[in-house]
Homo-oligomer: A and B are copies of this chain.
Amino acid sequence: MIAEKMKNMVANSSAIRAMFEEGNRMAKLYGAENVYDFSLGNPNVPAPEAVKNAIVELVNDSDPVVLHGYTNSNSGYADVREAVAESINERFDTTFTGENIIMTVGAAGGLNVILKSLINPGDEVIVFAPYFGEYRSYTNNYDGVLVEISPDTETFQPKLAEFEQKITPKTKAVIVNTPNNPTGVVYSEETIKEMAAIMERKQKEYGTDIYLISDEPYRELVYDGVAVPYLTKYYANTIVGYSYSKSLSLPGERIGYLVIPDEVTDSEDLRSAANVATRILGFVNAPTLQQKLVAKCLHEKTDIGFYDRNRETLYNGLKECGFACIKPEGAFYLFVKSPVEDEKQFCADGKEFHILMVPGSSFGCPGYVRLAYCVSYETIVNSLPKFRELAKKYF
C-alpha cells in the first residue's frame, strides 16, 4: 500500500512526462521522423565539444579516489564552489565567495534543498501562473501551501497588484522563473524592482522574512540581446537556483547550484541547513565528476543560434496557421493559445497529426499549450504542414 500523499501524485503523474513517454511510444510505432514531439525540455543541442574533452581530461589526469569520492562538504568541492562564485561575479558584478554556493543535483535538487531548509508545514509559497508544475510537488514535499497568482494572458508578466494582495504573514517564499517556462517571457528590470519593493513592504508590515527563490535554468537562453536582471542585486532575501541542464545540455547528469548570499536573513544558518538538507534528502553531494566538469566549462557558451532559428521558424509558422502566441524572449518554449476552450482537446487533436504538446493546465494556465522547441530543426520544419492541417479544424 503506497503512501496516501503519493496516491494522487501517481494518478496525476506529470502530464509532461506522460507525453514524453507517449512520444517514445509513437516514435517506435510511426518512426521518429514522423512524430513531432514538443513535450519535454530535453535539449537537442549536443553538449559542447569542450564537455567531452573535459571529461576525458578529468578521468585521465585526476586521482580517481578524489574525482569519484565524497566531497569534503556536502555542499560540494571547495575549488568548484569558488570557481562558480567567481564566474557569477565576473558576469553579474556580484561579490560571492565559494561559501555562498551549494552545488546541487540540478535545479530540481536545489529547489528541494532550499524548500526543505525553509518551509514549515502550512507556510505559503507564491508562484505566478503559468508556472513549472513541479513547484507544486516540491512545495507539497514539505507540506507547504502553493499560492497561485493568476496569469496575465496579455503579457504573461506577473500580476503585481494581485501578488501584493496575496502575500500573508504565512508567505515564506516566492518562486520566480525568468526566462519563464512555459511562456519564454523575461521579467523586466522594472518588474523586478516593483516586486522587490512589494516584498520589502510586506516584510516590514508583517515582521517576517519572505525569500525570493529565482529558478534560473534558462538564464543563458535569451534572444535579441534581452537582459535578464540578476535578482540578488534587487532584493536582499534572494536565493538563486541554477542548472547546467540547458546551458551545457547536461539535463540527465543532474548538476546545478544554489546561491545563498550573505545578505539573506540568517544566511549562515540557511547555508548550514542547505548543506544538511543535501545530505539527508539523499543527494549527499552533487555528482562529483560533473562538479569538476562544469568548473572546467564555465566559459562555454550555449548555441543560442540553434534555438533562435527554431524559435523564429516555429513562431512564424504557427502565426501563419492562425494560432495565437506571445513571442518568447528566452528559454525554448512557445505558449500557444488553444483554439478551443479545453486545451486538452487541442492536445488530443494534435496527437492525430503526431504532434505532442503539453496542456497549459499542467502549468496552472488552462486554455494554452506548451511547445518545447529544443528539438531538431527538421522536426520544426516538418511539423509545420501538420500544424497547417491541424489549424484547418478550427480556423
Contacts and interface: CB of A to CB of B under 8 A. Distances in A.
A1 B266 contact: yes
A287 B284 contact: no
B117 A269 contact: no
B252 A288 contact: yes
Interface in A245-296: 249-254, 265-266, 269-270, 272-273, 275-277, 279-285, 287-290
A254 B140 CA distance: 25
Contact of A60 (B52, B69, B269): B52
A39 B219 CA distance: 40
Give the secondary structure class of A's interface.
helix
Interface of A: 1-6, 9-10, 13-14, 17, 20-21, 24, 40, 42-47, 51-52, 55-56, 59-60, 63-65, 67-74, 105-106, 108-113, 116-120, 134, 137-138, 140-142, 209, 249-254, 265-266, 269-270, 272-273, 275-277, 279-285, 287-290
A172 to B, nearest CB: 9
Contacts of A68: 47, 51, 249-253
B10 A249 contact: no
A177 to B, nearest CB: 15
List of 9 A-B pairs having minimum Cβ-Cβ separation, nearest first: A252-B288, A112-B282, A137-B280, A108-B282, A46-B64, A109-B282, A2-B273, A6-B273, A47-B64
Contacts of A6: 116-117, 273, 276-277
A44 B69 CA distance: 9
A3 B116 contact: yes
Contacts of A4: 120
Contacts of A275: 13
B59 A9 contact: no
A284 B64 contact: no
A108 B47 contact: no
12 contacts: A2-B117, A2-B266, A13-B276, A46-B64, A68-B250, A70-B251, A70-B252, A108-B284, A112-B282, A138-B282, A254-B283, A283-B283
A24 B72 CA distance: 8
A118 B272 CA distance: 29
A382 to B, nearest CB: 18
Contact of A70 (B42, B55, B284): B42
A288 B209 contact: no
A273 B3 contact: yes
Given A3-B120, A14-B279, A105-B254, A59 B64 contact: no
A109 to B, nearest CB: 4
Contacts of A273: 2-3, 6, 9-10
A202 to B, nearest CB: 15
A291 to B, nearest CB: 8
A65 B46 contact: yes
Given A73-B21, A141-B280, A10 B65 contact: no
Contacts of A72: 20-21, 24
